[in-house]
Amino acid sequence: MLHDVNAGVAVVGCGSAAPAVCLDNEALSQMVETSDEWISSRTGIRKRRLASSEDSLRSLSVQACQNALAMAGVEAADVDLILLATSTPDDLFGTASRIQFELGATKAVAFDLTAACSGFVFGLVTASQFIRTGAYKTVLLIGADVLSRWTDWSDRRTCVLFGDGAGAVVLQATEGSDRLLGFELRSDGSLNSSLNLAFQGETRSLVDGKTVTQGNFQPITMNGQEIYRFAVRRVPEVIEKALFRADRTVEQVDWLLLHQANQRILDAVGDRLSIPSHKIISNMAEYGNTSAASIPLALDEWVRTGKIQSGDTIAAAGFGAGLTWGAVIFQWGR
């Protein structure tokens, strides 16, 4: 059913969830040759949450959604669309529909969206198009990942980085001013090998010379230096382009909300944009890199602690595997 075409978009609620199990740097140093000082000085990460056998991407996502719906004052039955941004679904065929069922969002269509650490930003832009065209009025967007499933815990270059979690936001059509001000999305497949969670298979003969390839996905591999150089060069550019489209200046940004990958990247992007450190949102010290969950996890914390106020202008940017990157400028609240 079509609603008003050219409706505005507002982000009216947020929620998050993280597993109870916490692995700090000291405990990690008992597994691989590293130390709290080495990890924290190079990444800014001190702890990460890990999904236990009792947790799932679905259970974390449902909890985050329930918290977001409660803040927004929206019933699950009134949600029209559920988007799940993830690279680590419980089921490769998709997990969003199971979340829809468990929430009781009986009229919502649900599907997964994969853009790795950029997933939440890509999802925010995707959700806004459904609202602006009048297709849907209320959208639930989830960013969630359980990277511990695909981390090589013997590789000290990568195992120090990743954690598990989920975050969600409620977007609604508004007849007033449009709160999603501008965006810019980019992809570059030539750099795909810099960060992978790749399928590896072996040839299996079936009959009469016909073969298939069967196997499994392998643990995460990453060229950290290449990703750092990519992020500090491309992320400021994409934020500036999004600000141009939003007709806003850097000085009008209240909060810089980047994918929580590495504190050095956050600091470098802030420096290049001349955004002071007190405007840069960071909680990676407690959660590590949670991929598509990192931006909504940090957003939820800053909103619930009263730091982000209604009407604040947020420049959010994601970047990661693909490689993909993008930025969206929006104002918080109705």
Output DSSP code: residue 149. Answer: G
Radius of gyration of the chain (CA): 20
Count CA within 13 A, CB hemisphere, residue 172. 18
The CB density around residue 135, as the number of other CB atoms within 10 Å, is 18
Q: Strands of the chain (E only): list them.
A: 8-17, 21-24, 47-50, 81-85, 109-113, 138-146, 164-174, 180-187, 195-196, 199-207, 210-217, 221-222, 255-258, 313-320, 324-331
Residue 256 contacts residue 273 (beta carbons within 8 Å): yes
Count CA within 13 A, CB hemisphere, residue 215. 11
Query: Strand, coil or helix: what is 109?
Result: strand
Among the listed residues 228, 251, 227, the one whose alpha carbon sits nearest the alpha carbon of residue 240: 251
CA distance 106 to 331: 29
Q: What H or E segment, with its residue span, contains residue 272?
A: helix 263-273
CA angle 13, 121, 58 (to 5 degrees): 65
Please identify every residue annotated as catalytic: 117, 259, 289
